[in-house]
Amino acid sequence: MNLKNTIRATLIFLHLDLTKNLEYDRLTKKILKQVLKQNSNCVDVGCHKGEILDEIIALAPNGKHFAFEPLPHLYQTLKHKYSGKATIYPFALSNKSGSTTFNFVKNAPAYSGINKRKYDTATPDIEEITVELNTIDAVLLNQKIDLIKIDVEGGEFGVLKGAEVLLKRDLPVVIFESGMGASDFYGTQPKDLYHFLNSDIGLKISTLKGFINKDKALDSATFELYFNTNKEYYFIAHQ
């Protein structure tokens, strides 16, 4: 573990939420501890370096785990690291299959995605690569899934629509990022995303903290407010 990752892990352990992302990382790990069982089957979409997948494997060692990472160098590292522990796929996920241009942000890889988005770095160094595009329903429909984590820099609605059959069948917990600066670059409207998860699939939507505190789930108007203002941009869909 390098120094940056060590500092990050220490801040999360001490509950020192210096940034919103650190808070979301801490809350995500707390939720994983609450909802996962030894044999839970999980999907990590946008696996990146595997920080969340590490937690999943530790908490559900007897489950079957699947991760998606389209950046070739990260995919190769993950495939080697998780050999025998998880199945790693080199696909970008959406609601259709084929191939797609993928924007690799070389000086900020975590911001990479199918579409360009708003970047925190003033001079993003972007290389366009071509990756295989697929859907969760096409790849994992023969698996029962208990939890899905989605972090794809704005393309989460496409990922969810590509998992519609599995979502309706299994009603898994879904932890996902969504909000302005990313999701709007994919044309996502919060009311449509809310309706899809709540009405079409049958899942409630909460903030991470609200779920942990067992608060009432969000209504459509509150979800839209959070989405449009980025007051909250990480959510959990649940039964």
The total number of structural domains in the chain stands at: 1
Q: Give domain status of residue 1, yes or no.
A: no
- The 8-class DSSP code of residue 186 comes to G
The listed range with the strongest mean pLDDT (10-14, 17-21, 135-139) is 135-139
Cα–Cα dist 47/90, whole Å = 10
What mean pLDDT comes out for the span 158-166? 98
Cα–Cα dist 60/85, whole Å = 11
Q: Give domain status of residue 234, yes or no.
A: yes
Q: Give domain status of residue 178, yes or no.
A: yes
Q: Give domain status of residue 4, yes or no.
A: no
User: What was the pLDDT predicted at 4?
Assistant: 52
Q: Give domain status of residue 202, yes or no.
A: yes
E strands, 37-124, are: 42-45, 65-68, 87-89, 91-93, 98-105
Q: Give domain status of residue 125, yes or no.
A: yes
Band (pLDDT 50/70/90 cuts) for residue 213 is very high
Per-residue model confidence as pLDDT tens digits over 126-144: 999 999 999 999 999 999 9
- The enclosing domain of 133 has a CATH number of 3.40.50.150
User: What was the pLDDT predicted at 122?
Assistant: 87
Domain of 117, in residue numbers: 19-238
